[in-house]
């Protein structure tokens, strides 16, 4: 008891360093051991005391944040919270940082920086405290969540409950929900899939602007097509649709096919997009024609939606604790009795292909891996 979380702040702006240090110092469980202007100074400071969490900017002189991250993860995986500017360029850079090993991020605007960081102190402190609790053994490259301090609503706020019984159709697809640790976990799963794979709909907790960059990155890496969902996009084989940040995504049945509906609405379980909203729509519109997957993430978003999927006959799987960066969302789904099978991250692609009856594709993916 009484042990404080040691935090290292790395940012080339003196104003940002001062504000971050002052805000973090407000929490008695946190101790800022140093605030330095670039990664080279950080490396020297870490020789004295290794931090529990690093708050890092990614655009800095002498050594960029991405190179620094890779060095840290190769030497000693450590939770890193990115403090990045919310711009298209900033989003793309942050995606690289998440892929390199960061577990979370907070955004900062170009103007009004001091007021923004002061007003967002709770978000910053929450992100740092959450990062301190992640499974360091599961940090290999990276994640990202955004918790919003708002009333916790259920999926009822967007979509009324009352699942409809659905007959089997030839069109089957996968619904995935994830949060902290999800960016890298999704990268591993989707890269293991062959081009001929079932359609996939995904909610990854992330704010707007970041989901587009995330989808573009995955599309460049994967055999399947990956895109940020647009209202009316068809859920089809060989394509993964990622819910856009700041919007909910639902699945709507249209004859024998399914399409993505992108809508506004209140935050659900403190998130928009919400996994519970997606899973409920899938339970109502697809039932047993879908495989539900819940992966690494903080909180319980998706647990009740997965129970609805399970109760209408859909197959459901959860990522196991050992490979989760944060075993929160899967744990809550398991507690509700919503999960048929618990598997490590490396087995999720196999489960997807098995659900689709693609035994040959499973064999090919094993050869590739």
Rounded Cα distance between 229 and 201, Å, is 9
CB proximity list for 40: less than 8 A, separation 6 or greater: 62, 63
Q: Read off the pLDDT of residues 167-188 as tens digits, 9 standing for 90 and up.
A: 455 578 999 999 988 999 999 9
Per-residue pLDDT at 99: 82
How many CA within 13 A on the CB side of residue 239? 13
Angle at 234 (CA atoms; ends 230, 236), nearest 5 degrees: 130
Residue 271 is among the residues annotated as catalytic for this protein: no
Residue 57 is among the residues annotated as catalytic for this protein: no
Domains in the chain, CATH or no CATH each:
5-133 (3.40.50.2300), 155-368 (3.40.50.180)
Three-state SS across 159-186?
Answer: CCCCCCCCCCCCCCEEEEEECCCHHHHH
Q: Which of 52, 300, 301, 320 is catalytic?
A: 301
Angle at 230 (CA atoms; ends 293, 184), nearest 5 degrees: 40
Q: Which of 179, 197, 274, 281 is catalytic?
A: 179
Q: Which of 11, 27, 104, 205 is catalytic?
A: 205
Q: Read off the pLDDT of residues 52-94 as tens digits, 9 standing for 90 and up.
A: 999 998 877 788 888 898 888 888 889 999 887 755 556 777 7
pTM of the model: 0.80
Residue 205 is among the residues annotated as catalytic for this protein: yes
Place 114 in a pLDDT band, splitting at 50, 70 and 90. low
Is the Cβ–Cβ distance between 16 and 42 less than 8 Å? Answer: no
Q: Read off the pLDDT of residues 321-335 as tens digits, 9 standing for 90 and up.
A: 999 999 999 999 999
């Amino acid at each position: 008891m009484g042990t404080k979380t040691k935090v290292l702040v790395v940012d080339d702006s003196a104003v940002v360093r001062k504000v971050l240090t002052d805000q973090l110092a407000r929490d008695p469980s946190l101790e800022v051991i140093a605030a330095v202007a670039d990664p080279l100074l950080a490396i020297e400071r870490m020789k004295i005391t290794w931090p529990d969490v690093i708050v890092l900017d990614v655009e800095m002189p002498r050594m960029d944040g991405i190179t620094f991250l890779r060095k840290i993860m190769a030497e000693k995986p450590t939770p890193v919270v990115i403090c990045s500017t919310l711009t298209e360029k900033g989003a793309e850079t942050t995606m690289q940082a998440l892929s390199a090993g960061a577990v979370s991020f907070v955004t900062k605007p170009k103007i009004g920086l001091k007021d923004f960081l002061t007003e967002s102190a709770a978000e910053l402190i929450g992100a740092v405290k959450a990062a301190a609790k992640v499974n360091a053994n599961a940090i290999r490259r990276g994640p990202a969540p955004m918790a919003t301090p708002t009333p916790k609503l259920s999926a009822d706020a967007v979509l009324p409950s009352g699942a409809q019984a659905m007959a089997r159709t030839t069109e089957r697809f996968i619904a995935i929900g994830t949060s902290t640790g999800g960016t890298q976990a999704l990268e591993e799963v989707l890269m293991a899939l062959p081009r001929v794979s079932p359609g996939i709909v995904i909610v990854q907790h992330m704010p707007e602007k970041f989901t587009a960059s995330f989808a573009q990155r995955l599309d460049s890496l994967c055999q399947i097509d990956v895109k940020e969902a647009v209202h009316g996009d068809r859920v089809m084989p060989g394509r993964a649709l990622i819910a856009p940040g700041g919007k909910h995504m639902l699945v709507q049945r249209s004859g024998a096919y399914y399409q993505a509906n992108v809508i506004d609405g209140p935050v659900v379980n403190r998130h928009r997009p919400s996994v519970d909203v997606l899973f409920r729509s899938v339970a109502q519109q697809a039932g047993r024609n879908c495989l539900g997957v819940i992966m690494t993430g903080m909180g319980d978003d998706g647990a009740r939606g997965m129970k609805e999927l399970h109760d209408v006959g859909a197959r459901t799987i959860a990522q196991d604790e050992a490979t989760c960066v944060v075993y929160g969302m899967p744990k809550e789904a398991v507690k509700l009795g919503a999960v048929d099978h618990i598997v490590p991250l490396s087995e999720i692609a196999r489960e997807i292909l098995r659900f689709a009856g693609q035994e040959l594709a499973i064999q090919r993916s094993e050869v590739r891996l």
